[in-house]
């Protein structure tokens, strides 16, 4: 008779392996940082920034945040003909509403400011689509994009975000993209992020910590959560 392994035992083994791997990685990182901190800290910053070669797509997607820069870059790409429409995944936050006043745009309860920024930079209203006001984080946004591509029968999207956010966006795309879907990660140039000296400012330290935590979650948290739900969900 074949031996039966209890699902909870499998989870326990995975958790132990994760703990061991995390401990080894932490020791290696501490050793490297002690030997030459500036060099390896800069490597971490540069590793967060990726960019795909632009290709013609079905839609340009603006991830939430960094108004007006992400929207302005998406508008430029649209005007240059990289895609015929622009999608917005999430509404702007209070700080962005305040910052956007430099463009002379006042808050409007009936239209997201991100839409009005796109229009101001030359994207016609007919080419703009707000996917959902409910997206709370990057995982939600990537799921929204893949679902919208599936629903509309489209396949290719250019995803516009900030430099330090690109590695995590690419990682999540590889997890959630459905067969045949392509996502090209593209970052703005206007955001002041210095990957070679990110530890010098509180703002960049916060960004890097947030992105590193997000990458760990994408690599380990999402698969582990999926396994736990499968084991404990009612059959």
pLDDT in tens, the chain (235 residues): 444 545 556 656 666 776 676 677 667 666 655 655 667 788 889 999 999 999 999 999 999 888 888 999 999 999 999 999 999 997 666 555 555 655 666 655 556 778 888 998 999 999 999 987 678 889 999 999 999 999 999 999 999 999 999 999 999 999 999 999 999 999 998 778 899 999 999 999 999 999 988 888 888 777 655 555 555 554 4
Q: Give pLDDT, residue 99.
A: 58
**Residue whose structure tokens are 């009005």:** 116
Q: Give pLDDT, residue 1.
A: 44
- Predicted TM-score of the model (pTM): 0.78
Q: Give pLDDT, residue 100.
A: 62
Give SS3 for 182. Answer: strand
Instruction: Decide: 196 and 45 in contact? Cβ < 8 Å.
Output: yes
Separation in Å, CA 21 to CA 8, 9, 13, 15, 29? 20, 18, 12, 10, 12
**Ordered strands of the 59-62 beta sheet:** 128-130, 86-88, 59-62, 156-161, 182-187
Two tokens, residue 107? 């808050």
Q: Give pLDDT, residue 59.
A: 98
Q: Give pLDDT, residue 93.
A: 61
Cα–Cα nearest to 182, from 157, 215, 162, 212:
157
Kindly calculate the radius of gyration of the chain based on its CA atoms and give it in whole angstroms.
20
């Amino acid at each position: 008779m074949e031996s039966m392994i209890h699902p909870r035992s499998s989870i326990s083994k995975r958790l132990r392996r994760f703990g061991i791997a995390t401990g080894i990685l932490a020791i290696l990182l501490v050793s490297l940082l002690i030997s030459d901190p500036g060099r390896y800290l800069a490597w971490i910053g540069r590793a967060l920034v990726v960019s795909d070669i632009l290709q013609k797509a079905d839609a340009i997607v603006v991830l939430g945040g960094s108004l007006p820069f992400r929207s302005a870059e998406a508008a430029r790409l649209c005007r240059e003909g990289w895609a015929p429409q622009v999608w917005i995944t999430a509404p702007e936050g209070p700080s962005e509403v305040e910052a956007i006043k430099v463009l002379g745009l006042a808050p409007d309860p009936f239209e997201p400011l991100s839409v009005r920024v796109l229009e101001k930079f030359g994207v016609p209203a007919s080419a703009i689509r707000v996917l959902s006001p409910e997206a709370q984080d990057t995982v939600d946004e990537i799921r929204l994009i893949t679902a919208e591509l599936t629903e509309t029968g489209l396949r290719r999207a250019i995803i516009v975000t900030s430099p330090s956010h690109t590695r995590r966006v690419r990682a999540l795309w590889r997890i959630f993209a459905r067969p045949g879907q392509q996502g090209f990660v593209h970052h703005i140039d206007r955001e002041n992020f210095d990957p070679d000296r990110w530890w010098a400012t509180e703002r960049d330290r916060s960004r890097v910590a947030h992105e590193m935590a997000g990458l760990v979650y994408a690599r380990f948290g999402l698969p582990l959560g999926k396994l736990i739900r499968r084991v404990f969900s009612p059959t």
